[in-house]
Amino acid sequence: MAKTPAQRIKKHGANAAVPQHHLPAVINPSTTRTPEKAQSNSNLILIAGVVASLFLFWYLHLLTLNQLTQLSGGLPMPDSLVGGFDRGFAEQLRSAMDQDARGQLNYVHKTAGTLFPLIFGFTWLLLIGTNVARKSLRWVLWAVPMLFVVTRLWGNASVDAMLSAGTLDAGQVALASALTVAGWVLLVLSLLAGAAAVFLGRKKAPTRTDAAGPAGT
């Protein structure tokens, strides 16, 4: 049986041959994630989110909802009415759309109508979070896209409930119309909040001259 280093020292004293044990080298002892690299990764995610949001907006509002007017006798979908709608319009739309047409609108709400506000909201939260350092201001700006997401999803459900109800209720129409208008208003406010965040981010970023110091020193 092989002797341990302690047993060898005890038997042979200072002349004992003790094998040297080396610990394995530490892999990647220091991180290479610099602030510049982290910022670059955030920018890539932001670009992807903005592109996805633009595509979904085009697909939802400029393509799909316009195509659904073929199933409603040319009447626009409630989601496209920036100024809202009244009970008379809701009655006309309900009469013009059969069950299959309402089912298609409901499907659009569950797919592109859900993905657009969620991806847009996430992108704008990241945009604001990476450009606004002041915590209180960041939360104020964050509130706008978060409200937009909640309002749009609630508005989708309200429109579907209005169209599928057995008897049209004035309260349902008023709620669906108010949520539709609020969704468009919050979308515009979210865009303004994002623009303000970018402006603040560029304002706080030091210029190359400031970072390098005065010339000639």
Q: Distance of CA 28 to CAs 32, 33, 57, 164, Å?
A: 9, 12, 44, 60
191: its two tokens: 């865009």
Question: What pLDDT sits at residue 25?
Answer: 54
Question: What pLDDT sits at residue 216?
Answer: 46
Q: DSSP string spanning 14-49?
A: GG--PPP--PPPPSS-S----HHHHHHHHHHHHHHH
Question: What pLDDT sits at residue 217?
Answer: 42
> Using one digit for the tens of pLDDT, what is the confidence trace for 167-184?
899 999 999 999 999 999
Domain ranges of the chain: 45-74+89-204
